[in-house]
Amino acid sequence: MSEPRLRAKELDAADGLAAQRAEFLLDEGGGGSGGEAVYLDGNSLGALPAAVPGRLEDVVRRQWGELRIRSWTEEGWWTAPERIGDRIAPLVGAAAGQIVVGDSTSVNVFKAVVGAVRLARSADTAAGAAGPARDEIMVDATTFPTDGYIAESAARMTGCTLRPVPPSGIPDALGDRTAAVLLNHVDYRTGRLHDLPALTAAVHAAGAYVVWDLCHSAGALPVGLDEHGVDLAVGCTYKYLNGGPGAPAYLYVRAELQDRFDSPLPGWNSHAEPFGMRPEYAPAPGALRGRVGTPDILSMLALEAALDVWDGGVTIEAVRAKSLALTDFFLECVEAYVPEGRVECLTPGPHGERGSQIALRCPDAGDVMKRLIERGVVGDFRHPDVLRFGFTPLYVGFADVERAARVLAEVLAEVLAEPGT
């Protein structure tokens, strides 16, 4: 047995989170001709937690099928958005009462960015500021495209100018016209982890409000929303939180800002008296004002069941420690198996700058990923030349990592040996 395989066996034997793998339904025999499947795409869609199918069957057959409308009260459907939000809160470093679950990430980005602009302007008005009006929204220039699209629409709606800036340039670019800044905690392409505490402090020093997109960090690493005074945050739940395809996203509004948070999407679910059916809108107290319409109960309760994997003492700190160990080991295996110069790692080496994924650049990346998937090593491809591998510590082991790197080397050798390559 080779050195990396022996090392993987030792690391798996010492893994304090190894038992969590049994909490998921994994296709252990789906690895094609190469053996067991290795799922390294949890940064796109998390694996299925074992508790979800049975829970959903109960929701459909008993709660919907038998209790029907009574389930809104008797089974707690109505309070699901805030109840599930409170379960997510510890995973992102937030106290209860600040997160509401519902809608998509894109919709929540829109609520948060417009809300941030309104917060900035209302704060200036309350303080009697005599300077120029805050009419600029700053956005991470490397952001996931949808965040950019939403920010541009929010700028039109609020009469702001949109200014794309790389995260490293944000502190120097901020000014007295900046109202809101939208940033990604982890870069979706490269896996770079941005400095949330320092960037949040810089935005606040300029009198602006910050919105953090946590899609690639929630459930993979500590965030510290309350500790670092983040104003607003959004995130999806179908990646490292394993909520399922299209699972509802969430919106965080810091407690001190909730009475001033003015959502651009007021709906009957966020009304102070939702069943009063009044023509005038009056926002509900607290994070509830982030709700809009009727919750998508089936997806919502699938997510609630998925969050059971975090019960029983699993901590985000332990998950982060294993994530770093997995990504370190993957890079060691790639170095051991893949000839020098065949791939380029785009993910930063320092732990403080790395999320829970590794991005490798190589020629013919699309074809390489297709062949990897055929052999049961599932990652994903990002145009034009990036292989992405996501490491979900709750169900990925070190033997998985070793096999992924070994199969990658085999595929790269095949591609290189083909005529015309």
Q: Active-site residue numbers?
A: 144, 213, 238-239, 388
Q: Distance between CA 295 and CA 304 in Å, rounded?
A: 13
Q: Distance between CA 363 and CA 140 in Å, rounded?
A: 27
Q: Distance between CA 295 and CA 279 in Å, rounded?
A: 21
Q: Distance between CA 105 and CA 246 in Å, rounded?
A: 10
